[in-house]
Structure 1
Amino acid sequence: MSVLELKKVSYAYYVERKILDEIDMRFEKGKMYVILGPSGCGKTTLLSLIGGLDIPQEGSILFEGADIGQKNLESYRRQHVSFVFQNYNLIDYMTPLENVMLTAREDPVKALCQLGLTEDEIKRNVLKLSGGQQQRVAIARALASETPVILADEPTGNLDEDTAREITTIFKEAAEKYDRCVIVVTHSQELAKQAHERFELKQGKLFNLDCDNADNT
């Protein structure tokens, strides 16, 4: 059964141009989805709608069969969705441990150590960590929150090639080992190669790249 479903979702910044045009899509737990597309095509807008930061102008988004537009969106975001951003979005005067504790429903130390940080590193100020380590903290925060959906916006964009590869593996394991639905928007073809399902957002439509260029419908 789908954990998330988009039904005829549309969104426009200008009347004459829909950035998202009647998108139908289902997302399942246990999979990592990658959505590719150039800057300005609507990837971040789509992620914001799925995450309840905004609502579709047309159509609906269902979480476990219920329209999130009919729910308290703050409660939906807190209980069901975690975000991982390109710029990490950590509280910079806190330690990794303190950042993860803000949303943790499971042991934050365990989550951080599983992602390769030492007990010394998790007690440092986050600004004293490398970019790759900070991104690990952001992912640990998402995993420790135990939300079924993880949304990532260009999560490897600020990282070197080797670190980006490691972070991509972590996202895939989050889907497979922890039964999360992981949705990543990115420019990275290397990241996309590791996805269970790949899509391209183009001219307001989603195209499945694994089905001979068929539309997602």
Structure 2
Amino acid sequence: MAVLEVKDVGYYYFSDKPVLKGVNLSFEKGKLYAICGPSGCGKTTLLSLIGGLDEPKSGEILYEGQNIMEKGKGLAWHRRNNVAFVFQNYNLIEYMTPKENVLLTAKEDPIPVLESLGITKEEAGRNVLKLSGGQQQRVAIARALASHAPVILADEPTGNLDEDTAAEITQILKSNAHKQGRCVIVVTHSDAVAEEADVVLRLDHGKIVEAK
């Protein structure tokens, strides 16, 4: 059963230049999805709509069969309870430690989650700016995982990382889909990430042109 559905969704920033054109998709728990396509094709816009950061101009986004605009208290409720974001630039609070960053969303002690991602207890008490890019991305993922959100939305999560670190981050996301039963949706330009995905969706000129 689909946890998320995109039904005939359209979006534009200027009415004469549509970004998304009647997109229809469904996403299940326990799978890693990769949304690929050229720059400017609407990948990040689609992820933002799925995550409730913006509203479709047409169509609807459903979570467990209900429009995310209507369920609970609307988009803010959806963002707080159903989804967690991982961004390319980490989006960590720079004056905080990894532990403090994870505590912003955590429903549990953040240390075990951080340690499971390779961040030691000592590193968890340092300022995040003293960590490497790969470590900061692990903290960002820990923040998403600690929220217990059923859906993880990752926008180019490996874009700023070296090849080996990118591969490790991809495996962490894939493992959380398969072992924790989460739905993980990744926007990526990386062929390596796409190869690890259970489902690859290709977006071009605002439409899904290929799905496998």
Q: Return the letter of the residue paired with 1:203.
A: H
Structure 2 counterpart of 1:107, which letter?
D
TM-score scaled by length of structure 2: 0.97
Find the residue that maps to 2:2 and give its secondary structure: coil
Whether 1:3 aligns to 2:3 is yes
Gap runs ≥5 in structure 1: 211-217
2:76 aligns with 74
CA deviation string 1:110-131 (max 9, x = no partner) = 1100001111111110000000
Q: How does 1:15-164 map to 2 (within 5 A)?
A: 15-71=15-71, 72-164=74-166
Alignment partners' CA distance in 1, 2:105 and 2:190:
29
The 8 Å contact of residues 3 and 63 in structure 1, kept in 2 or not, is answered as yes
Q: Where do 1:172-191 residues align within 5 Å?
A: 172-191=174-193
Say if 1:209 and 1:4 are closer, same or farther in 2 by CA, change over 3 A: closer
Distance in 2 between residues matched to 1:139 and 1:21, nearest whole Å: 31
Which string of whole-angstrom CA distances, capped at 9 and with x for unpartnered residues, describes residues 178-205 of structure 1? 1110000011111100000001111111
2:158–2:166 contact (8 Å) kept in structure 1: yes
Q: Return the letter of the residue paired with 2:171.
A: T
Pairing 1:14–2:14 present: yes
Per-residue deviation, residues 51-93 of structure 1 (Å, max 9, x unmatched) = 0010100000000110012242111101111000000000011
C-alpha separation between the residues in 2 aligned to 1:148 and 1:42?
24
**Residue deviations 1:150-180 (CA, integer Å, cap 9, x gap):** 0000111100011001000001001011111
* Residues paired across the two proteins, number: 210
Deviation at 1:209, TM superposition (A): 4.0
Does the aligned pair in 2 maintain the 1:11–1:18 contact within 8 Å? yes
Identical-pair percentage: 63
Q: CA deviation at 1:15?
A: 2.1
Amino acid at match of 1:35: I
**1:106–1:146 CA contact under 8 A, matched in 2:** no
Gaps of 5+ in 2: none
For 1:29, the aligned partner's letter is K
Aligned-residue CA RMSD in angstroms? 0.9
CA contact (8 A) 2:83 2:152 kept: yes
Deviating 4+ runs (over 4 angstroms): none
Change (3 A) 1:209 1:26: closer
Greater CA drift, 65-74 or 18-27? 65-74
Partner of 2:201: 199
